[in-house]
Amino acid sequence: MLTTKCYFTVLFALFVGYAGHGQDLLSLEEAIQLGLENNYNIRIARNQEAIAVNSNNPGNAGFLPTFSITGDMSYTSNNIRQEFFNGEGNEGNNAGNFSTSSGAQLSWTAFDGFQMFAVRDRLNLEQRRSRTFTRSEMNDLVTQIQIAYFEAVRTRQRINIVNESIVLNQSLQTLAQAKLEIGTGTKLEVLQTTNAVNADSSTLLNLEDQLKTAKIGLNRLMGRQPDIGYSLPSEIPVTGLPKLEEMVRLAIEQNYQLQLLNVDEQIALTQIKEARSALYPTVDLFASYNYNYSRAEAGFLLSNVSFGPRVGMSVRYDLFPGRNVKKDLANVELLRENIVLSKESVREDVVAQLSQLYQNYQALIELEQLEEKNLKTAQRNINLSRRLYQSGRATNFDVREAILEATRVRDRLSDVQFRKKITEIQLKSISGIPLD
| Whether the Cβ atoms of residue 163 and residue 20 lie closer than 8 Å to each other | no
Q: 187-221 and 28-38 are packed helices; what angle lies between their axes, rounded to 10 degrees?
A: 40
Which of 262, 290, 316 finishes a domain?
316
Is the Cα torsion angle 261, 262, 266, 267 positive or negative in sign? negative
| 148 domain-assigned | yes
What is residue 311's DSSP assignment? E
Here the CATH number for the domain that contains residue 401 is: 1.20.1600.10
Residue 377 inside a domain? The answer is: yes
Q: How far apart are the first and last CA of the chain?
A: 49
In a domain, 144, yes or no: yes
Model pLDDT, residue 343: 92
Alpha-carbon gap, residue 349 to 341, rounded angstroms: 12
User: How many CA atoms lie less than 13 Å away from 37 in the CB half-sphere?
Assistant: 8
Q: Given this model, what pLDDT does residue 21 score?
A: 47
Residues 229 and 265 placed together within one structural domain of the fold:
yes
Query: Do 146 and 264 belong together in one domain?
Result: yes
| Pair (286, 211) in one structural domain | no
Classify residue 37: in a domain, yes or no: yes
CB 282 within 8 A of CB 141: no
Contact indicator for 284, 316 with CB cutoff of 8 Å: yes
- The whole domain housing 301 covers 68-111+282-316
Nearest to 153 by CA among 230, 239, 38: 230
**Is residue 98 located within the same domain as residue 31?**
no
Helix (H, G, I), strand (E, B) or coil at 327: helix
Please compute Rg for the chain using Cα positions.
41
Q: SS in 3 state form for 141-178?
A: HHHHHHHHHHHHHHHHHHHHHHHHHHHHHHHHHHHHHH
Q: Are residues 247 and 168 in the same domain?
A: yes
pLDDT in tens, the chain (436 residues): 334 444 444 444 444 444 444 578 999 999 999 999 998 889 999 999 999 999 999 999 999 999 999 999 988 777 777 666 676 766 767 767 888 999 999 999 999 889 999 999 999 999 999 999 999 999 999 999 999 999 999 999 999 999 988 888 888 788 878 878 787 777 887 888 888 888 889 989 999 999 999 999 999 999 999 999 999 998 998 888 899 999 999 999 999 999 999 999 999 999 889 888 888 899 999 999 999 988 876 656 677 888 889 999 999 988 876 667 788 888 888 999 999 999 999 999 999 999 999 999 999 999 999 999 999 999 999 899 888 878 878 877 788 888 888 888 999 999 999 999 999 999 999 998 876 5
Kindly give the residue spans of alpha helices, DSSP state H, lying in 183-295.
Answer: 187-221, 244-254, 256-276
Q: Provide the domain count of the chain.
A: 2
Q: Are 248 and 354 in contact (CB under 8 A)?
A: yes
Q: Let me know if residue 228 belongs to a domain.
A: yes
DSSP strands (E only) in 276-302: 282-296
Residue 76 lies in a domain: yes
* 157 and 72 in a common domain: no
Could you give the CA distance from residue 12 to residue 15 in angstroms, rounded to a whole number? Answer: 5
Sequence-ordered list of residues with C-beta below 8 angstroms from that of 285, at least 6 positions apart, any chain: 107, 108, 110, 312, 313
Residue 278's pLDDT is 85
Same domain assignment for residues 179 and 78: no
The whole-number pLDDT of residue 200 equals 84
Contact 272, 333 (CB under 8 A): yes
Question: Considering 316, 342, 371, which residue would you say is the last residue of a domain?
Answer: 316
Count of other CB atoms within 10 angstroms of residue 18: 9
* Count of CA atoms in the C-beta half-sphere (13 A) of 204: 26
Please check whether residues 118 and 184 belong to one and the same domain. Answer: yes
Last residue of a domain, one of 316, 332, 361: 316
User: Residue 303, SS3?
Assistant: strand
Cα separation, 423 vs 271, whole angstroms:
40
pLDDT value of position 19: 45
- How far apart are alpha carbons 396 and 169 in whole angstroms? 11
Q: What is the largest CA-CA distance in the chain?
A: 152
Q: Are residues 97 and 118 in the same domain?
A: no
One domain for residues 287 and 336: no
Q: Is residue 181 part of a domain?
A: yes
CB 210 within 8 A of CB 172: no
User: Same structural domain for residues 81 and 217?
Assistant: no
Residue 436 lies in a domain: no
Helical pair 4-22 and 115-182, crossing angle rounded to 10 deg? 140
pTM of the model: 0.79
Report the SS3 class of residue 368: helix
> Are 252 and 329 found together in one domain?
yes
DSSP-derived secondary structure for 375-401: HHHHHHHHHHHHHHHHTTSS-HHHHHH
Residue type, 353: Q
Q: What is the pLDDT of residue 377?
A: 94
Find all residues with CB under 8 Å of 290, minimum gap 6, and list them: 101, 102, 103, 306, 307, 308, 310
